Amino acid sequence: MPTRERGDIGAEFGRVLRRGALIALALLCVGLFALWRADSPRIERLRMALVDRATPAIEVTAKPIATLSALAADFEGIGKVREQNRLLRAEIERLRIWREAAQQLERENAQLRALNNLRLAPRIGFVAGEVIADSASPFAQSALLNIGAADGVVDGAAAVDGEGLVGRVVGVGARAARVLLLTDFNSRVPVKVLPSGRRAILTGENTDTPRLAFLEAAAGVAPGDLIVTSGDGGVFPPDLAVGRVAVVSEHGARAQVAADYERLEFVRVLLYRPATRIDTPGGLIAPATPPAETPELGAAGARTDG
Amino acid sequence: MAEAAPRPLRLAHMAALVGLGALAILLSLAPLDARASATPSPDLLFCVAAFLALRRPAATPAILVLLLGLARDLAGGGPVGLGALTLWISIEWLKSRRDRIVRSVWSELLAVAAIAFLAPLAQLVILTLSFANSPPLTTLAAGGLATLVAYGAVALVMRFGLRIRGVPLEAMRLLGRPIR
């Protein structure tokens, strides 16, 4: 029958179309994996484009779960303690901001006293955001923030909580940003161990205690020593608290990060501009390299100069 | 090819896969504990897709499963594309052995457990072959266990909360229709 034949042809065409789409999709997955493996920035842009659209839904879902988690943690005397806890946390956050501002000013003061050639002081502003998601995968250690390019967040910026360095921004959307935690395999941060001043690279290994790779010499480094960012490379500001030395052995040294990853709620992303050395008059008139495309400080409402 | 359920019902089940799958992705993204040593989140998307694949196979077309897997990979921070491919293969494997798996709760749990542990292992092997860093086996085993436990909860919610039931195998055989 002609009608039946037409139906069969239609069904067959549909099947071929579905099979073609499936093969194309599977190949797309393979291609995306290859791009991910090659560390292509396209993947991060694709990720952030999707996350940008999903941010409101992620926030809506994350809030009740975060609340339930907090309730479970504060099981005893939920009513009063939870409210007090919330107020105290907000107060502590405010005080920490002031403490950091004071420490920054102190450091700046010390640097200026030791100044022997003209240098424009580095400017550190910050924008605070809430952690709305984590990586949801044992293959990565990252967190998603509800602040993005619209708030002035730029790729590579340092993220800190009240205790110390949390990680580095690796993806920026309009309203969301992804922070690679210090414990992730791909995290590498130049650090300095105090008081010895030994330099190393803090290397994430998906464990709670990242390795201090390329430590200049283990001598003079002991458990409990303070680890701060060295500022080498100019990506991170120097002297940000990172953690403490946890173990020193013949296999190397490991660090205990200061950031509270167990209860990571609020994070500040630093808007850091490295110090500019003025060593030639020409540099004042026409810089040799074009300035990086960073949004102007003061453009975002939530941002504060520290 | 004959269909197991009328078209509107099949579309409703597909909508359930998309809706519940999206919810599963959002729930698994919720920030609870960012420590590397924390128990990994269960694979809720796999739980939802597996439950539907075993009860309403026609409601879990491969394209939809791959798209959901890809969305999960992109929203999270893990290897993009790899999770989607392993999810697709897992669901197709479950569908192909459905008549043997749904005979009892134990055989279903065994099949789900096998995939919950083997899928991350397969990802680990591929990552190792591509010279990428991968987490220790203990972390993956903990994740597999979390997925298995979560599957029980998801199955209870979907069976008794959403009243999604399987197509009886015997009824399908009596009707002379292939099981889809």
Q: Does B129 touch chain A (CB under 8 A)?
A: no
Q: Tell me, what DSSP letter sits at residue B41? A: P
With beta carbons under 8 A apart, name residues in chain A contacting B35: 183, 208, 261-262
Taking 90 as the threshold, does the pLDDT of residue A112 lie above it?
no
With beta carbons under 8 A apart, name residues in chain B contacting A54: 26, 75
Alpha carbon distances (Å) from A11 to A14, A63, A285, B2, B63: 5, 46, 71, 11, 17
Provide the residue ranges of all domains of chain B, joining segments of one domain with +: 7-29+41-175
Identify the bridge partners of residue A247 per DSSP, sorted by sequence position: A254
Provide the residue ranges of all domains of chain A, joining segments of one domain with +: 26-182+259-276+298-306, 188-257
For B111, residues 6+ apart whose C-beta sits below 8 A from its C-beta are B94, B97, B101
Taking 50 as the threshold, does the pLDDT of residue A39 lie above it?
yes
Instruction: Tell me yes or no: is domain A188-257 CATH 1.10.3470.10.
Output: no
With beta carbons under 8 A apart, name residues in chain B contacting A46: 74, 80
CATH H superfamily, domain A26-182+259-276+298-306: Rod shape-determining protein MreC, domain 1 (2.40.10.340)
Joined together, the tokens standing for residue A272 give 């850091």
pLDDT over 90, % of chain A: 8
| Model confidence pLDDT, tens digit, residues A160-181 | 988 889 999 998 988 899 999 9
One fold for both A26-182+259-276+298-306 and A188-257? yes
Alpha carbon distances (Å) from B150 to A197, B43, B63, B113: 48, 8, 24, 11
Q: Which residues of chain B have pLDDT under 70?
A: 1-6, 167-180
| Model confidence pLDDT, tens digit, residues B101-137 | 888 889 999 999 999 999 999 999 998 898 888 888 8
| Number of inter-chain CB pairs under 8 A, A vs B | 162
Nearest residue in A to B70, CA atom:
A29
pLDDT at B89: 94
With beta carbons under 8 A apart, name residues in chain B contacting A33: 79-82, 85
Quick check: A62 and B72 CB within 8 A? no
Q: What is the dihedral of CA B139, B143, B149, B153, to 10 degrees?
A: 150
Quick check: B82 and A51 CB within 8 A? no
pLDDT tier at A156 (50, 70, 90 boundaries)? confident
